[in-house]
Amino acid sequence: MNATTIQDKTSTLGGSRAGMSSVDLPRLAAALVIWALLLSAPFWLPLVGGYTVLGTRVLIFALVTLGLNLLLGFTGGLSFGHAAYFGLGAYGTGLMLKFVTASTPLAILVGVLVGGLAATLLGPITVRRKGIYFAMITIAIGQMFYFIAVRWNSLTGGEDGLTGFARTNVHFGGWTLDLHNPTNFYYFTLFFFAIGCFVVWMVLRSPLGHTFVAIRENPKRLRFLGLPIGVYIWIAFAISGFVAALAGSLYALLNNFTSPEDMNWILSGDFVIICVLGGMRTFWGPLVGSVIYVVVQDYLSSITVNWMSFIGAIFVLSVLFFPWGLLGFFQGRFKK
């Protein structure tokens, strides 16, 4: 496959502005502001009524949706089952810490491998179908893992969830990172979030990323060009699966707990709406969506019993009025 030809093709496809421009100043400034805010979050969060653990949750949800968005927003693969890989990462890490090792990094590695490989292995089954059919199959496969977690009592703790493990301190040579401290764990998570951002960003600027966008824009045309579309969607699926597993692994460490709910399709739906809320076709959309969704849910459920109606209304209203998300909306205004 000759990458440059694909790149040429994609830039002419369906009005897509997929070509990579050189340095874009506003964008660079935005990125700098975002990183500055993330790095200083533990200091300003309490001042605005937040708390550090909430910040960590936002990062974890941003990480999983960042990966999902590669598939959903950039490649156009409508996965409604990513909670499964998220949950597999969580269980992988939790079980490692409980039964095998006291090393947090090793447990994370295993969690990422378990979830990521599951996505890689199941990818071929799902990518044979497209569109709405793809969505249904991803949901159903996700639910299969959910029910395995619920019923395999002896290993997973079943409905009660997996307890009895806790994140341990990380040692680098003579230096120890105390992960019990919530602020330290926030930075630990931020480190992995940065890795996730870097990976997704590199993929998106590579020829592979351009092909993903091209597939979303005009799959028929690419198929006529002789491109094995299924293989590319599979690659996007696998990458997003690995990222989701990493996020799930961190989530298990955050709570020192995991349960089948971390695999449920309801959570998959949350992931998708986060992408949509922030802006599916933007790089930072998932982060913005996570901030909105996690904070609003946290706040609403404290003040009203009917929080479900409000969350549901967010789904309905954003679909009807903000289909391209907050970032999409503002960027649209800006350009006009």
| Binding to another protein in span 199-238, by CB under 8 A | 204-205, 209-210, 213
CB 244 within 8 A of CB 286: no
Least distance (Å) from another protein to the CB of residue 199? 15
**CA angle in degrees (0–180, nearest 5) for 280-282-286:** 60
Q: How far is the CB of 331 from another protein (least distance, A)?
A: 5
Among 13, 18, 235, 288, which residue sits at the site for another protein (rule: CB under 8 A)? 18
Q: What's the CA gap between 221 and 159, in Å, rounded? A: 47
**CA-based nearest residue to 96, from 157, 180, 167:** 167
How far apart are CB 316 and another protein at their closest, in Å?
5
Residues 293-322 that bind another protein (CB under 8 A): 298, 300-322
**Cα–Cα dist 27/73, whole Å:** 19
Q: Please, which residue, 175 or 281, has the CB nearer to another protein?
A: 281
Q: Which of 80, 86, 186, 242 binds another protein (CB under 8 A)?
A: 80
Mapped onto helix, strand or coil, the DSSP state of residue 335 is: helix
What CA–CA distance (Å, rounded) separates 325 from 318? 7
Among 1, 3, 20, 202, binds another protein (CB under 8 A): 20
Q: Which is nearer to another protein, 148 or 199 (CB)?
A: 148
Q: Which is nearer to another protein, 43 or 133 (CB)?
A: 133
- The Cα 247–Cα 267 span in angstroms is 13
In the shown chain, the binding pattern of residues 105 to 144 toward another protein, with x for contact by CB under 8 A and - for none, equals --------------------x--xxxxxxxxxx-xxx-xx
* Rounded CA separation 66/84 (Å): 16
Residue 4 interacts with another protein (CB under 8 A)?
A: no
Whole-number minimum distance, CB 55 to another protein, in Å?
Answer: 11
User: 177-188 burial string, b = 16+ CB within 10 Å, else e?
Assistant: eebeeebbbbbb
Positive/negative CA dihedral, 236, 70, 126, 88: positive
Q: How far apart are CA 18 and CA 11, in angstroms?
A: 5
Stretch that binds another protein, among 32-40, 73-81, 94-102, 222-230 (CB under 8 A): 73-81
The smaller minimum CB distance to another protein, of residues 172 and 302, is found at: 302
From 179, 182, 194, 199, residue interacting with another protein (rule: CB under 8 A): 182
Residue 259 CB, nearest approach to another protein (Å):
5
Tell me the window of 49-57, 92-100, 104-112, 238-246 that interacts with another protein (CB under 8 A).
Answer: 49-57
Residue closer to another protein by CB (options 173, 185) is: 185
Shortest Å, Cβ 105 to another protein:
22
| Amino acid letter for position 154 | S
Minimum Å distance from CB 31 to another protein?
Answer: 9
**168 C-beta neighbours (distance < 10 Å), count:** 16
Residue 17 phi, psi (nearest 5)? -95, 60
* Of 173, 114, 150, 180, nearest in space to 261 by CA: 150
Name which of 15 and 174 has its Cβ closer to another protein.
Answer: 15
